[in-house]
Copies of this chain bind each other. A is one copy, B any other.
C-alpha cells in the first residue's frame, strides 16, 4: 500500500507537537526557583523514561501526571527546595498541561485534518492532552493516549490499539514523531511512519534525534512540510 492509503495520522506530542523544554524552563524561571532552569527541565524530562519503565515492569498503572509529580518531588528534594506549598507544587507539576506548541503545529495540524483523521497518540494522559491542546489552540479529531490501552509506547499494544480504535488496519495509520524509537516501534507494529525534525527539542546543541533513515516513509521539516508531502495544498 502506498502513502495514498493512509487514513489517519497519530501524533506523538511531547517534543513533536509541543516544545516541552522551553515551556518548562519559562515557568521554572518565572517562579523564581533557585535552580538552573534548563538543567532542572532536562532532569525532569530525563526521569520520564525510567518512571515509565517502572510502570511497565510493575504492572500497576500510573498516569503521566503521577509520574511527573514523583520525579518533581525527587528533584525538589535533590535541590533542597522545601519552601513550596502543595498548591504551588501541584501547579508546577501541571506545567505539562500548558506546554507551548511549535509555531507550525496548529496551522499545520489544521491543514493535515483536511487530508485525514488526526489524533494524538501520546504517553500523556487524556486530561493533560486536552488541557494542553486547548492552551495551544490545537484541534484534533480524537485524543488517544496510552491511558486508554494501559500501556506506554513503545509497547505495540498502544499502536495496534489506536488502529483498532479508529477502525483501521495498522498500515492505514501513520505515526508522526520526532523520535526514532517511537517510529521504529510503530513500524514494527505495521504502521506507516513520518519523522518530523525538531532540531531544538533538547535545546541548542542538545543532540536531538534527527537525520533521515531509509525505513522512514516520510521525513518532514515541520507539519507544513508534512502536509505538503501528503498532498495538502495551503
Residues of A whose CB lies within 8 Å of any CB of B are 65, 117, 119, 125-131, 133-134, 139, 141-143, 147-148, 165-168
Instruction: Say which residue of B117, B130, B148, B166 sits within 8 Å of A117 (CB atoms).
Output: B130
Cα–Cα distance between A118 and B188 once the two chains are bound (Å): 35
Cα–Cα distance between A121 and B133 once the two chains are bound (Å): 19
Cα–Cα distance between A191 and B142 once the two chains are bound (Å): 23
- Known contacts A139-B139, A142-B143, A143-B143, A165 near B126 by CB under 8 Å: yes
User: Assembly of this chain: how many copies?
Assistant: 2
Listed from nearest, the 8 A-B pairs whose CB atoms lie closest are A127-B167, A142-B143, A130-B142, A126-B165, A130-B141, A127-B166, A139-B139, A148-B148
Instruction: Say which residue of B128, B133, B134, B166 sits within 8 Å of A130 (CB atoms).
Output: B166
Smallest CB separation, A176 vs chain B (Å): 17
State the main secondary structure of chain A at its contact with B: helix
Interface centre among A127, A129, A133, A166 (most CB of B within 10 A): A127
Residue of B with least CB distance to A134 = B141
Smallest CB separation, A98 vs chain B (Å): 13
Cα–Cα distance between A142 and B143 once the two chains are bound (Å): 6
Residue of B with least CB distance to A127 = B167
Smallest CB separation, A108 vs chain B (Å): 17
Q: Which residues of B contact A117 (CB under 8 A)?
A: 130, 134
Q: Which residues of B contact A130 (CB under 8 A)?
A: 117, 119, 141-142, 166
Q: Which residues of B contact A119 (CB under 8 A)?
A: 130
Residue of B with least CB distance to A113 = B134
Interface centre among A65, A125, A141, A147 (most CB of B within 10 A): A141
22 contacts between A and B (CB under 8 A): A65-B167, A117-B130, A117-B134, A126-B142, A126-B165, A126-B166, A127-B165, A127-B166, A127-B168, A128-B167, A129-B142, A130-B141, A130-B142, A130-B166, A131-B167, A133-B141, A134-B141, A139-B139, A141-B143, A142-B143, A147-B165, A148-B148
Smallest CB separation, A24 vs chain B (Å): 19
Q: Which residues of B contact A167 (CB under 8 A)?
A: 65, 125, 127-128, 131
